[in-house]
Structure 1
Amino acid sequence: MPISKKQSWHIEPPWGLLNDPNGLVWYKGNYYAFFQWNRFAKDHSSKAWGFATSPDLVHWQFRGSALLPDQLYDAQGVYSGSALEIDGRLCLYYTGNAKQQGRRISHQCLAISTDGRHFRKEGPLFAAPAGYTGHFRDPKVLAVLQGGYQMVVGAQRDNGLGAVVLYTSPDGFRWSYGGVVGTSREYQMIECPELFRLEDAPVLLYCPQHRDNAADTSLDSFSVGRVLDQGPDASRPLDLDTGWQRLDEGFDFYAPQTFRTPDGRRILFAWMSRLEGEAETAFGAGEPRIHCLTMPRELFRRGQRLCQRPVRELRELPGTPVPGETTESGRLYRPFRRAFRFTATELAAERNLDLTLHEGEWSFHYDAAAHTVTVERRCWTGPGQDTRTVPLSALSSLELWCDQSSAELFLNGGEQVFSARIWPASSQASLLIAGLPPESPVQLTLLPDDLYRYLPKEEETQ
């Protein structure tokens, strides 16, 4: 009998397809995580906003729908956007996608809530300006220190190449075009941009995308970030093809979005998928749902490098330690469920290290001589392995966070991160470590099993 892929502590819908995180915000005593949701099928044929709430970034409840594609200006999709509290109101900014005679028309739109449960659409704020195509989307709004608000929008110019565009507003409701933040010569679209300050430096996140403009289809895309020397300057647009780092080196990470907690931390979620075509169809077969968000992560800087670590609230969770046993192959752990956290510190940079999860569903190898890290997972659409290899000068610590069908690995306190969905095939959860220095402190801890739940259907927001 197939093993369920249903996650136990990651945000995912009870049915249908989830993709981009949209509005992440703290509002009236709760964290909100909105996300793209197809309520009807495990494909991308319909786009609404679903959401979940949490008092503590740990215990989440799925709440149902927030925004549906029920107006002429968003009839072909309530696309991605962001959320912000303004004067006690929860403001949701999103892209309304419509098509007329095969032509894509996009508007940046606003919806407002005063209770976090019921959302009133205010309609379009503005359409794509002259010089841009209908690929003009994903508004991310930020309150600025000097007063007022900024919005960055992902765009495609009339020349078929990508850009990030800036808008400004005195109140969050009246918006003016502020110029171009950056342009690309290589990528046909820039998706999911975000501009914010992190430890007193401006940071830009975005997703470069190759497209077949003639067929209007995506070819490939990924998520990057960069620390800027100064804020946006329309007189000197950034070169978006250079100066960035990948935010996650794993298989499944896209469309990251951040927000500030009341205590000032910058928290990131992303869509934990880059599955396409055959792989996505196979992964969702026999399941009522597909895809989830990553675990919440604290984003921080080490110089010009953007780093991530699991949020403090998860790291401080009490859990049940699981003892390991010494075998000929290494140290072996056999937890009785797949939701756990493993940590290892004071690792020896001169020694190779290997981790094997659930008898080969996922594995990690650090090559001390080559200074490389390789992460593999068992391919589920054919024989062999999916593989990622990246340079790493030394390995000093690692954290591995597992759920029923995912693994998220943090190296050297968040210097490198690898996210992956995995196909549960082994009936016995296990973790085997080879090459571990005898003096290295290690611990495997089971995570509580009540961190995420669905409300009864009659209590969901429709």
Structure 2
Amino acid sequence: MTNDQKLRVQVTEEIDKHKGIVEKDPHRLHYHLMPPVGLLNDPNGFIQWRGTYHLFYQWMPFKTDHGAKFWGHYTSKDLVNWQHEEVALTPAEWFEKNGCYSGSAIEHEGKLYLFYTGNVKNEHGKRESYQCLATSHDGSHFKKHGPVTTLPDGFTAHFRDPKVWQQGDRYFMVIGAQTETLKGAIVLFQSDDLIDWKWVRMLTGGDSGALADFGYMFECPDLFHLDGKDVLVFSPQGLKPDGMKYHNVYQAGYTVGVFDPTTGMYEHDEFTELDRGFDFYAPQTTVDDQGRRLLFAWMSVPDQDEQMHPTITYKWLHTMTLPRELQINGDKLYQVPVKELEDLRKGDAVVEEVLLANTIKQAERAYGQAFELLIEKMELDEGWFEMTIRHAVRIVYSSEQRVLTLERKSYVDGVIEKRQCELDHLSNLRLFVDTSSIELFINDGAEVFTARFYPSPNDDQMVFGSSSTCRFWVKRWELDKVF
């Protein structure tokens, strides 16, 4: 039996061993992608291929901690109902023995090509990294071809997360990197055949340019064209808090500019965070057959009190965000839940008008643990508006300060913590609440807050409040359980 075969057997045994424990967790989500056991992190290889959406993901099946990662694999026809497939990649070869790290997928000549980083730590503890290729005829079984690039001069072995795309008759690859001066950077390679890759240039970061000295490492780059603009999404590490920005351990965001494929130059504006909440990292996008630019992200952040989540008791950790469609307005990205999520709705919406006048009002009906909520036609001329969900998450908008705040009770020590953004006005809120997560889309997706939270399993209450007269309409849908 090969090392790959042994690892696959061990994964199957681990799932079977802990399935009963995992399913007993009251915080297990109803409609978000989760690992069957162990730890999930970055989305990988997100693609629609032969009419099926494939989402691979970083997976440590043997513990709720990081280590030699596998590529887990989900498939779906509709972005709502997902099937967990056999593990796609195992860390079985010399060039990946300490983990099949993040990467991307592309179709070529009818086959599915996966590009990923092979992580190696040698006998002296020194890191090595290799950008590797695996291919498949059926989307289930993958043949490994080994490394396709070498580490260029001037960079440390923190060199990973290849994202590949085709533009014209050439293929391009961006890779997250760290320079030898310990500055975050993104580099660019190109190829005519997806096999022979040539160095082009450092795309951004390093010691000069608009993102000079912008953290010590850039992860998970993704460069794409959207409505006439070239958008670079990536996850910088090492930023210091700046006002309301950069309060998580690491960040995820984007720049907007112009990419010239003939020279490899990318002129762009400043970095903007994609999500204002507590738990959002390593986003990856793809284009589907409807022409939509779709995004998944990991609903967590590395090194951010990961071992304090209560789900660890039940042998699993972390989840994906919901799939989102990206749209651009000027130089600002909007994120909108994909339309297919409406299929989760059970029956018609419960619709009600809410009038507040310096009061706190508990909703007449219990809202449940998995629901979608739309608040629209908001009238708030002065003062503040608030809503509290299951006594664990609070949303506050101050019309005078023009600030929206998301508060939660910390799962580490119970202390209230917050994330904020400036907001000129509040016209609508769209919330997707699951048993232990919230995704909040503000003003048609102009701002988004994503967070995990852990309320009492028996608490289904929603409370509204305001400091002055406030009127709005509420639509609520109970959502089906998929997982």
Taking a change above 3 Å as real, the CA distance of residues 61 and 40 of structure 1, as seen in their structure-2 partners, is same
Instruction: Kindly indicate whether the alpha-carbon contact (under 8 Å) linking 2:249 and 2:301 is maintained by their aligned counterparts in 1.
Output: no
Instruction: Kindly indicate whether the alpha-carbon contact (under 8 Å) linking 1:190 and 1:209 is maintained by their aligned counterparts in 2.
Output: yes
Q: Does 1:88 align with 2:110?
A: yes
Give the aligned partner of residue 389 of structure 2. 357
Question: In the alignment, residue 44 of structure 1 is paired with which amino acid?
Answer: H
Q: Secondary structure at the match of 1:149?
A: strand
Offset from partner CA, 1:134-178 (integer Å, 9 cap, x none): 01100001111x222111000111111111000111122221111
Give the aligned partner of residue 448 of structure 1. 480
Match of 1:290 among 307, 310, 317: 317
| Post-superposition offset of 1:236 | 5.9
Offset from partner CA, 1:335-383 (integer Å, 9 cap, x none): 4641110001111252532111012x11100001110001001112214
* Farther-moved stretch of structure 1 (321-330 vs 334-343): 321-330
Give the aligned partner of residue 15 of structure 2. none
Tell me the distance in 1 between the aligned counterparts of 2:443 and 2:134: 41
Offset from partner CA, 1:318-351 (integer Å, 9 cap, x none): 4233466979622515446411100011112525
Match of 1:167 among 186, 189, 193: 189
| Post-superposition offset of 1:278 | 4.3
Offset from partner CA, 1:408-457 (integer Å, 9 cap, x none): 000000000000001132413122223497763321101112x34xxxxx
Instruction: Kindly indicate whether the alpha-carbon contact (under 8 Å) linking 2:25 and 2:311 is maintained by their aligned counterparts in 1.
Output: no
| Post-superposition offset of 1:285 | 3.1
Give the aligned partner of residue 215 of structure 1. none
Give the aligned partner of residue 27 of structure 2. 5
Match of 2:130 among 90, 98, 107: 107
Taking a change above 3 Å as real, the CA distance of residues 396 and 233 of structure 1, as seen in their structure-2 partners, is farther
Taking a change above 3 Å as real, the CA distance of residues 27 and 151 of structure 1, as seen in their structure-2 partners, is same
Tell me the distance in 2 between the aligned counterparts of 1:187 and 1:312: 36
Question: In the alignment, residue 139 of structure 1 is paired with which amino acid?
Answer: P
Offset from partner CA, 1:244-273 (integer Å, 9 cap, x none): 110000000000000001010000000001
Tell me the distance in 2 between the aligned counterparts of 1:114 and 1:437: 62
Give runs of aligned pairs for residues 154-193 of structure 1, distance below 5 A.
154-183=176-205, 184-193=212-221
| Post-superposition offset of 1:237 | 6.5
Give the aligned partner of residue 257 of structure 2. 228
> TM-score with structure 1 length normalisation?
0.90
Tell me the distance in 2 between the aligned counterparts of 1:278 and 1:159: 28
Give the aligned partner of residue 408 of structure 2. 377
Q: Secondary structure at the match of 1:314?
A: helix
* Farther-moved stretch of structure 1 (328-337 vs 63-72): 328-337
> TM-score with structure 2 length normalisation?
0.86
Q: Secondary structure at the match of 1:309?
A: strand
Tell me the distance in 1 between the aligned counterparts of 2:285 and 2:78: 16
* Farther-moved stretch of structure 1 (106-115 vs 437-446): 437-446
Instruction: Kindly indicate whether the alpha-carbon contact (under 8 Å) linking 1:4 and 1:424 is maintained by their aligned counterparts in 2.
Output: no
Give runs of aligned pairs for residues 199-214 of structure 1, distance below 5 A.
199-210=227-238
- Give the RMSD, CA atoms, in angstroms: 2.3
Q: Does 1:393 align with 2:424?
A: yes
Instruction: Kindly indicate whether the alpha-carbon contact (under 8 Å) linking 1:81 and 1:95 is maintained by their aligned counterparts in 2.
Output: yes
Tell me the distance in 1 between the aligned counterparts of 2:265 and 2:364: 55
Tell me the distance in 2 between the aligned counterparts of 1:220 and 1:365: 23
Taking a change above 3 Å as real, the CA distance of residues 274 and 439 of structure 1, as seen in their structure-2 partners, is same
Tell me the distance in 2 between the aligned counterparts of 1:293 and 1:24: 12
Question: In the alignment, residue 83 of structure 2 is paired with which amino acid?
Answer: Q
Give the aligned partner of residue 308 of structure 1. 335
Match of 1:258 among 285, 293, 299: 285
Question: In the alignment, residue 196 of structure 2 is paired with which amino acid?
Answer: R
Match of 1:140 among 163, 166, 170: 163
Instruction: Kindly indicate whether the alpha-carbon contact (under 8 Å) linking 1:151 and 1:166 is maintained by their aligned counterparts in 2.
Output: yes
* Farther-moved stretch of structure 1 (229-238 vs 191-200): 229-238
Instruction: Kindly indicate whether the alpha-carbon contact (under 8 Å) linking 1:29 and 1:55 is maintained by their aligned counterparts in 2.
Output: yes
Question: In the alignment, residue 72 of structure 2 is paired with which amino acid?
Answer: G
